[in-house]
Amino acid sequence: SANLPPSPPRLPILGNLLQIMSSLPHRSLHSLSKRYGPIVLLHFGSTPTVVVSSSDLAEKVMKTHDLVFASRPRSSISDRLFYNSSDVAFAPYGELWRQKKKICVLHLLSSKRVQSFRLVREEEVALLLSSIRSSSSPSTSSITPVNLSEKLMNFTNDIICRTAMGRKFSGKKGIQETLREFIELLGSFSMADYVPWLGWVDRLSGLDARVKRTSEKLDELLEQIMEVHLSRDREEEEEEEEEEGGGGGGRGEEEDGADLVDVLLSLRDSDSASALQKEAAKALILDMFAAGTDTTFTVIEWTMAELIRHPKWMHMVQEEIRRTAHAVEFQGIVVEEDIDKMIRLRAVIKEALRLHIPVPLLVPRLVTEDTNLNGYDIPAGTRLMINAWAIARDPSYWDNSEEFYPQRFLESSDVDFKGQHFYFTPFGAGRRACPGIGYAMAVVECALANLLYHFEWEIPKEMKEEVIDMTEAPGITAQKKTNLILIAKSHVSFN
Ligand code: HEM
């Protein structure tokens, strides 16, 4: 007798799985919503899933009835990779999740902590610039195009590794491959989650073995990293005791020089301890890596791709950066105090984020109580997805919604992505909103301001097709399918 949302026809056993298994599910779900309306009920195998595709419904899910939608469905992959989902992003809603989210917001990703990583950002940006310079100017007089996508991927990886674990792994091929495999697995599809009796397909396809191998390697790596931190703390304590007769409290309590492992170790004896069993601490570090690398990378990559296709905006934003970046003369790079004044840069980033929502379907929610959305009954146990990608292009909220038009954010500068405007939620909203916004934007702005200040960017003639190609690659984050390969001509040299 329930009044369920409209539902397209489905196949026996698989239901509507083909829609979610299509290479770009946000697009196929968008087409369905055009036909069936902004709330659609699908069946992924035996799992009922509601997809919402309007700002009004997104607000009901992430604000009005936030509590009912605040949990996550279990995923056999994240269970195995994140120590039985004892992280934040994949953990079910409850007291343990609440404590760990608090740790993220207050300790790991607070604005003070983000500020404490400024030196790392600036050092890594300087390395990125010099790597682009050296790839662009080999011994001959011609300028070699640079694979900007590859350089940006290494850059975001290095920053996250340094801030989370205190070191980077460039040059360590085995570790880099494990970290890449980890991210790829998070975007993989496990049959066991949708049609449990077909779970053997995951064994046959090799998925189970890949997950097992990767989780073992990651655990080994995290154990080593924690041990290095602990033995360094022990040594420092011993030294301090010898010098002053009193022990120090580990690095996490200091603002500078502490990485996230230090912070987590320093919290062990505090009130947060119950949420911080060793495995949960390891799972939190993995969360930072999983949630922070490809997402941040993809925003920088798409912004550069949009700017190269819109030379007028490229010119306008470069003019602003070069006019405003006063400290560059002394420091060699564009610094954050100057970036704070760059309103065009901010508008351009927002517009790239709007058109290329990095996680187009956000992270799935689980309905924990029978509820009602727009007159439709949604039973407890249903999964729910928000098609934020479709909403951010909905012509009822955006004029010329498919166009790259940063001016819209200069005209309405109060429209932001922090979870107040439900037609623009690249970071989600409500209880489950992303706690990494400040961290991500600091990296994105610093990288873009410097790339745009220091180089003139051009499309290599022979690569016009690939650069202009704006197709997305399949995966949990919507990255550009083809690499962004550009010519970078130095604008100013400080050598
Ligand atoms: C441009 C970059 C980023 C984007 C677009 C992004 C987007 C998102 C989205 C869509 C969610 C799910 C929100 C929801 O369910 O409503 C999320 C959750 C999360 N993000 Fe981010 N994120 C970014 C960067 C980061 C960074 C840099 C970190 C940490 C270093 C981070 C840590 C997390 C965590 C821990 C969660 C789980 C929150 C929870 O389930 O309560 N994110 N992010």
d(CA 288, CA 300): 18
Query: Which single residue is written with the structure tokens 């195009």?
Result: 145
Q: Which atom of ligand 1 is nearest to the CA of 91?
A: 40
Residue 308 located in a structural domain:
yes
Residue 6 located in a structural domain:
no
Q: Which helix (H) or strand (E) holds 376?
A: strand 376-378
Residue 276 located in a structural domain:
yes
Q: From ligand 1's centre to the CA of 361, what distance in Å? A: 12
What is the secondary structure of 447-467 as a DSSP string? HHHHHHHHEEEE--GGGHHHH
Q: From ligand 1's centre to the CA of 74, what distance in Å? A: 18
Q: From ligand 1's centre to the CA of 387, what distance in Å? A: 16
Nearest to 261 by CA among 295, 224, 297, 235: 224
Pocket flag, ligand 1, residue 433 (CB < 6 Å): yes
Query: Which single residue is written with the structure tokens 């003639």?
Result: 461
Pocket flag, ligand 1, residue 152 (CB < 6 Å): no
Q: What domain range is 50 assigned to? A: 17-490
Nearest to 356 by CA among 322, 289, 309: 309
pLDDT of residue 255: 52
Residue 12 located in a structural domain:
no
pLDDT digits (tens, 9 = 90+) for 248-262: 445 554 456 789 999
Pocket flag, ligand 1, residue 360 (CB < 6 Å): no
Helix residue ranges per DSSP H, 310-340 = 311-324, 328-331, 336-339
Helix (H, G, I), strand (E, B) or coil at 175: helix
Pocket flag, ligand 1, residue 298 (CB < 6 Å): no
Q: Which atom of ligand 1 is nearest to the CA of 441?
A: 1
Pocket flag, ligand 1, residue 362 (CB < 6 Å): yes
d(CA 321, CA 317): 6
Name which residue leads in pLDDT, 39 or 176. 39
Is 0.90 surpassed by the pTM of this model?
A: yes
pLDDT digits (tens, 9 = 90+) for 430-484: 999 999 999 999 999 999 999 999 999 999 987 777 677 899 998 889 999 999 9
Pocket flag, ligand 1, residue 427 (CB < 6 Å): yes
Quick one: DSSP state of residue 471?
A: P
Does 161 appear as a known binding residue?
no
What total of structural domains would you count in the chain?
Answer: 1
pLDDT of residue 275: 56
Residue 106 located in a structural domain:
yes
pLDDT of residue 140: 58
Q: From ligand 1's centre to the CA of 363, what distance in Å? A: 9
Residue 22 located in a structural domain:
yes
pLDDT digits (tens, 9 = 90+) for 141-184: 678 899 999 999 999 999 999 999 998 888 788 998 999 999 99
pLDDT of residue 19: 75
Q: From ligand 1's centre to the CA of 322, what distance in Å? A: 31
Instruction: Specify the CATH number for the domain of residue 61.
Output: 1.10.630.10
Q: From ligand 1's centre to the CA of 34, what distance in Å? A: 28
For ligand 1, atom 14, the nearest C-alpha belongs to 428
Residue 2 located in a structural domain:
no
Residue 3 located in a structural domain:
no
For ligand 1, atom 31, the nearest C-alpha belongs to 436
Identify which of 153, 434, 437 to mutate to test ligand 1's pocket (most ligand atoms within 8 A of the CB). 434
Q: What's the ipTM?
A: 0.99
Pocket flag, ligand 1, residue 287 (CB < 6 Å): yes
Rounded to the nearest integer, the mean pLDDT of the chain is: 91
Pocket flag, ligand 1, residue 426 (CB < 6 Å): yes
